[in-house]
Amino acid sequence: MIYLHFKLNFSIFTNILKENIMKKVFSIGILLFILASLSFQSCTPEDTQGPKVYVLDPAGDVLHGADKDTTLLLWSKYKDPGVFVEDNSTKSSDIIVTNDSANVFPANKEGYLRSTRGTLDEFAKLTYTAKDLAGNVGYNERPFRIANVSEAYIGAYTISRKAMHVKDTTYTSSITADSRVAGRLRFNKVYAHKWDNKSTYFKVNADLFSPELSPSVFDERYGYIGKKNDPSTAYYSNMTYTPAMNEIYNYTYLKIDAQHYEDALNNKVYISGVADINDIPLSRIEFLGESRTITKIVLELNVTKNGQVDRVTETYIPR
């Protein structure tokens, strides 16, 4: 009996010893794991790399270089295709992306682009900023400009003038696109002549017009290029720049409403376009055959100076 009792006690002692050893081994294992983790973390380099930002097109494809250039239309709404972002340590979904559209886009409260901005040679820039969880920042830009569809006719011209009461002459000037009214052109040197021994000329606005397409009333945003039955909606609504520019060549007449001028000596001048009996403007744009090559732009005007009406024809030939 004594032997058996010793044998049982020895067995219990062995089991207890094994359990203690296993507990110690487990504790040491946990300790080693913690130390290894701390060591790994201390060896991991600090994240100092900002996210990469890729500019997208409306189809979701990445754009590079000049392909990022975006031309928007005056009095349209800009729909941003956005960007794709990635980072070396932060998930794309956790990266915060912002842009400065509120500062660079001249939009009204409804989101319409209310004035032109940028040029063919000097685009403005929309900047995207992306920030990762470590606070690192990455950037990319979308060059853009806001264009008036009337720019199809802008450029330098040689002008030949015939008139009843001032000398016929030839000079050079330019036609530019208005910055606020879609479809409007500005003729920068009309009826140039000497008046009281001083050189005088006038800047005249002309609105593109089509007897078949234009509404009968003028719209402050779209001039006469609104839809026939909806003057407050441009024909190019839902169009991008290229198809809109293709359509503007259908507007080959120029509506020139009466414009008033007065100089420091109180000399008053009124300039208005001339129309036929059907109220179709005589001022027009002419092309080479069926092409879109401009051969000339003709202004048919009545210029009233201090009560005297002068019938004037100015012919603009591209330089």
Going residue by residue through the chain (319 aa), what tens digit of pLDDT does each one get?
444 444 445 455 455 545 655 555 555 656 556 655 555 554 557 889 999 999 999 999 999 999 999 999 999 999 999 999 999 999 999 999 999 999 999 999 999 999 999 998 999 999 999 999 999 999 999 999 999 999 999 999 999 999 999 999 999 999 999 999 999 999 999 999 988 888 889 999 999 999 999 999 999 999 999 999 999 999 999 999 999 999 999 999 999 999 999 876 778 999 999 999 999 999 999 999 999 999 999 999 999 998 899 999 999 999 9
The alpha carbon torsion through 183, 187, 191, 197 (nearest 10 deg) reads: 140
Q: What domains lie within the chain, and their CATH numbers?
A: 52-147 (2.60.40.10), 150-318 (2.40.128)
The pLDDT, as a whole number, for residue 27 is 59
| Sign of torsion over alpha carbons 187, 188, 194, 196 | positive
Q: How far apart are CA 233 and CA 77, in angstroms?
A: 12
The DSSP output letter for 50 is: P
The pLDDT, as a whole number, for residue 197 is 82
Count of alpha carbons within 13 angstroms of residue 143, beta-carbon side: 13
The pLDDT, as a whole number, for residue 43 is 55
Buried b (16+ CB within 10 A) or exposed e, 102-134: eebbebeeeeebbebbbeeeebbebebbbbbee
